[in-house]
Structure 1
């Protein structure tokens, strides 16, 4: 099964406490819809790692760009993975 891993690095965000509930609402919806397999928050709020069930890179990029924190990402890496076991 293939998957896409997204590794984001978050820059400085003013009023992050106001944005986080909206961010978590989006990723929770993706999880419920089966689009997102896992979400890992980096220590010290330095970003996140998302593992998508989706294998279409363009679709994943479009989804990630909809995240409320996306404008604050300093770096976003997309990696296509093929699960071996």
Structure 2
């Protein structure tokens, strides 16, 4: 099981901030979230959304080990 965190507008869109979800990889996790909520799935694939695995920003697919923490971060702005 992975601990999944959503921040900002992603959390608002989903209606939750934190859940435990069983998935073998980031790609499988995105697919499961998209199946459950198409709008959230679309938002997660949008430009500027970043993924942090165990508090480190990652790109592409990665396997998820037991107790992994995956955070989806909306685009940031500011200066």
Please report the TM-score for the alignment, with normalisation by the length of structure 2: 0.36
Higher RCO by CA contacts (8 Å cutoff, separation 6 or greater): 1
Please report the TM-score for the alignment, with normalisation by the length of structure 1: 0.35
Which structure's residues are more often strand, by fraction? 1
Query: Which protein shows a greater Rg?
Result: 1
Which structure's residues are more often helix, by fraction? 1
